[in-house]
Amino acid sequence: MDDVRPRAAIAFLLACLVHVLILAGLQVLPRRAPIVVSFPVELVDVPRIEQPVPAPETPRPRPPPKKEEIVIPKKPAPKPKPKPVPEQQPKPPEPQPAPKDSPKQETPPTDTPAQTDPRTGALPSISVDTARFPFAYYLNQVRRKVTGNWSWSRKYSGTLKTVVYFRIDRSGAVSGVRLHEPSHNTIFDNLCLRAVEVSSPFPPLPQAYDEPHLGVYFEFMYRE
């Protein structure tokens, strides 16, 4: 430790001496004048370029203001008055021709008068299989009941005829219903059979008639 301190002191002194010498040398050395280098320069006369001065814009004349025109609406021309139409006298009614009488349809010959069905244009006819039955009122009852249960609404060009046979017993019940004379139109024949079957039973047979049953031929006919 004792050797280190003198060495440090010596090094410090030497450093200070060096700095003093450097500063003294800077003051003693003469300063050199700066070297000035000059180059010859030729002046060139550059012609001045004159820029054209824009001419001042002349103000455009403003159009005179338009005068507002006052439009007076024209009056519409008066409409011509319609000429009075002379009144026409009503024409006298034309005489209508008298209606022609429709041709009468001939009824088939039977023991009782036939009744026409206005719905189908049919002429139902009825007859019995015995000559000992003079009770026309009973046959009319049978005719009216069967005709009320029969209808034919189809349009058919021509004539259709069907004869149905059936028997009526003492109580008025119907049995043995069959086609006696077909019309060769299946629908028409079936409607005729059904009209007889639906009409059963009929009123009882008259007491003055002593047979057990009554055979009936019922004719259905359609004419266009």
CA atoms of 162 and 118, how far apart (whole Å): 18
pLDDT for res 139? 94
* Single-letter amino acid, residue 129: D
Over range 110-124, report the average pLDDT. Answer: 45
Structure token digits, residue 64 = 């005179």
CA atoms of 199 and 214, how far apart (whole Å): 16
pLDDT for res 182? 94
* pLDDT tens-digit series, residues 207-222: 999 899 999 999 998 8
Categorise residue 133: left if φ over 0, alpha if ψ from -120 to 50, beta otherwise.
Answer: beta
pTM over 0.75: no
Assess if residue 53 is contained within a domain. Answer: no
Q: Is the pLDDT of residue 170 over 70?
A: yes
CA atoms of 135 and 138, how far apart (whole Å): 6
- State which residues form the domain around 152: 125-223
Most confident range, picked from 6-15, 71-80, 146-155, 212-221: 212-221
pLDDT for res 128? 92
Assess if residue 28 is contained within a domain. Answer: no
Report the domain count for the chain. 1
Assess if residue 67 is contained within a domain. Answer: no
Q: What is the DSSP letter of 119?
A: T
Check which CATH number belongs to the domain holding 203 and give it: 3.30.1150
- Please, which residues bridge with residue 127 across strands? 217
CA atoms of 183 and 196, how far apart (whole Å): 16
Q: Is the pLDDT of residue 119 over 70?
A: no
